[in-house]
């Protein structure tokens, strides 16, 4: 009887690992960080309705003296995702803009979308995540 209980405990202990076996991971590398100061705020979105408003997940990391920083998002279901990166150079928790709204702090979008005016659409910034892990690079501008 004790062997049966032990076997059941092993199965139950392995269940969380089995449940996440088909979940993917995004490894994001942010490049072109200048100046090497402040922090990066990375937002992951999973729908057009939430894009640029309510991120699925958000991570913030100090830049230090690096010009490249890597983030990882784990446990993701298959679907379309988009990423927005903001470089808060002075750590004031705001995307500062320069003259006429241009030339302030840098930012970037997945697919390295660089719209002429305003923000990109979810469709232009989105990418597919399946069961395989995905590697993304975003260059700040």
Segment 74-125, tens digit of pLDDT: 999 999 999 999 999 887 767 766 544 455 789 999 999 998 888 899 999 9
In a domain? residue 9? no
Residue 12 is assigned to a structural domain of this protein:
no
20-78 tens-digit pLDDT: 457 999 999 999 999 888 999 999 999 999 999 999 999 999 999 899 999 999 999 99
The structure's pTM equals 0.81
Q: How far is CA 100 from CA 11, 34, 97, in A?
A: 61, 21, 8
What CATH number should be reported for the domain holding residue 113?
A: 2.60.40.10
Q: Confirm whether 2 is domain-assigned.
A: no
Taking the C-alpha atoms of residue 25 and residue 13, their distance in angstroms, rounded to an integer, is: 22
Boundaries of domain holding 106: 23-139
In a domain, 33, yes or no: yes
Question: How many whole angstroms separate alpha carbon 50 and alpha carbon 56?
Answer: 8
Total count of domains within the chain:
1
Question: Is residue 81 one of the residues assigned to a domain?
Answer: yes
| Pick from 66, 59, 63, 52: nearest CA to 109 | 52
């Amino acid at each position: 009887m004790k062997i049966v209980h032990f076997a059941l405990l092993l199965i139950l202990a392995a269940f969380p690992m089995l449940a996440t076996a088909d979940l993917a991971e995004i490894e994001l590398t942010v490049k072109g960080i200048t100046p090497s100061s402040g922090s990066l705020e990375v937002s992951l979105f999973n729908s057009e309705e939430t894009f640029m408003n309510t991120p699925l997940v958000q991570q913030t990391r100090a830049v230090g003296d690096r010009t490249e920083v890597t983030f990882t998002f784990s446990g993701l279901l298959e679907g379309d995702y988009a990423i927005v990166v903001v470089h808060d150079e002075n750590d004031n928790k705001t995307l500062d803009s320069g003259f006429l709204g241009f030339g302030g702090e840098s930012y970037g979008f997945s697919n390295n979308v660089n719209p002429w005016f305003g923000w990109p659409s979810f469709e232009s910034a989105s990418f597919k995540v399946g069961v395989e892990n995905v590697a993304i690079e975003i260059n700040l501008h």
